[in-house]
Amino acid sequence: MSLLKTIETNPTFAPRENTPAPDRLISGNPQLKTWAQDEAHGELVHTGVWEATPGVTRSIKGQTFEFCHILSGVVEITPEGGQPVVYKRGDSFVMKPGFVGIWKTIETVRKIYVTVTP
């Protein structure tokens, strides 16, 4: 097993497709695709590529730490009690454990993600 993993930004294998949980959907009909590419440390760390079509959902991280790097598209994230922040191609950000907010996909977004859950 190699300790170096390249994340394919345009994977050729089929993604897992789904929609937001009903209790998280605020508006629209976003379609979600996930190309999971690696797991580590007893499945506590996940990496891959994720894509969403326009819509608005509630984001709740719980105990999960998530790093995101936007490959394409535009999102606006509004932390609970905070101001909206817009992220687009080339931007990176972290949602720390306990994060709660609104995720608005303005233009279909594709991101690299790394999640860590204790």
Return d(Cα 87, Cα 76) in angstroms, integer: 6
User: Residue 35: is it exposed, middle or buried by C-beta count within 10 angstroms (0-12/13-18/19+)?
Assistant: buried
For residue 102, CA distances in Å to 33, 40, 46 come to: 19, 29, 22
Lowest mean pLDDT among 16-25, 38-47, 55-64: 38-47
Taking only the tens place, the pLDDT of each residue in 83-100 is: 999 999 999 999 999 999
Domain coordinates in residue numbering, the chain: 24-116
pLDDT for the residue numbered 1: 61
Taking only the tens place, the pLDDT of each residue in 67-84 is: 999 999 999 999 999 999
Backbone angles phi, psi at 81, to 5 degrees: 80, 5
CATH code of domain 24-116: 2.60.120.10
Q: pTM for this one?
A: 0.94
